[in-house]
Amino acid sequence: MYNLLDAFLEYLRFNKNYSYMTIESYARDIGYFFEFLEDKKITLDEVDPKVIREFSLYLNSTRKLKHSSLRRIFSSIKSFAKFAYKKGFVSKNFGKYVVFPKLPSNLPKFLDEDRVVYMFENIYQKYNFIDNEKKRIMLIRDMAIMFCFYLTGVRISEIASLKLGDINFSSATILIKGKGGKKRIIPLHPILKEKILEYLNVRDKIKTKDTDLLFVGNSKEGGLSVRQIRNLVYKYTSLAGFKVNPHALRHTFATHLLNDGNDIRVIQELLGHSSIGTTQKYIHTSSRRLKEVYKKYHPHA
């Protein structure tokens, strides 16, 4: 079994160009599974739904893992099983028996940086294992949308209404039409620029009618509805083990900017807030950092 694991890890390293940290994570996750199989004297070909259920119980009873960690472990097993089956090392794809643990009902208000990294690594992983060209194209669009949320902090309605002409690649800016018809200019992050350009190369293969909307789909206007975009966010964050709504990504954007030392008034402008008090509600940071901000901007501090 461990020779097969080595082959899988080499595949991730040389074929998928995964980072050292990501590969280490896969090795650790699948290692848990192998320990369980060895203890029960079960071969990979003998893995069935019952074995997967027993492994889930085993993890819950022997290791104190976060909910997101449990989902990551099962995601790793699913990818490993698909690799082993496609390469002919096992007689069946036992990954289809994996049922992800249910998500907790309370949604986090923002994501820490580790969760953001894991979320995007999870999307890349999904992309690398998709064989269907149509699904791959849709994932390119979805990836651009997810990066747009995280790297701009825009509202879901603002993403849905973005038009092709709102993206200025030469000046690296985006024109956002916000609440009450207010307009603001925000920077186009280099990574987001790359993802949008990649998406634009396949956009014509998705659109169902002529539209100048940036992100296309099958709504009446030819774009994506707010509900469809919200469901995309739920889908990709759930795959990573934590379900958050689009507004949480807006909170995440603001929090990470402040933690990186950016001026809260700049963040206020980027978010399109008329009041700095509103911006402060979006920020989830250490008490020390909050005291610094309070002292600097509160009139009675």
Catalytic annotation, residues: 155, 179, 247, 250, 273, 282
Distance separating alpha carbons of residues 201 and 5, to the nearest angstrom: 36
Cα 291 off chain centre by: 31
Distance separating alpha carbons of residues 255 and 270, to the nearest angstrom: 13
Place of tokens 């990836």: 143
Distance separating alpha carbons of residues 268 and 276, to the nearest angstrom: 6
- Kindly state the tokens that stand for 220: 């009446």
Contacts of 166 (CB under 8 A, 6+ apart): 174, 175, 176, 177, 214
Cβ atoms of 244 and 230 within 8 Å: the answer is no
Cβ atoms of 25 and 72 within 8 Å: the answer is yes
Number of other residues whose CB lies within 10 A of the CB of residue 62 = 11
Contacts of 117 (CB under 8 A, 6+ apart): none
Instruction: Count CA atoms within 13 Å of residue 23 on its CB side.
Output: 16
DSSP class of residue 99? -
User: Do the bridges between strand 173-177 and strand 183-187 make them parallel or antiparallel, or are there none, so unpaired?
Assistant: antiparallel
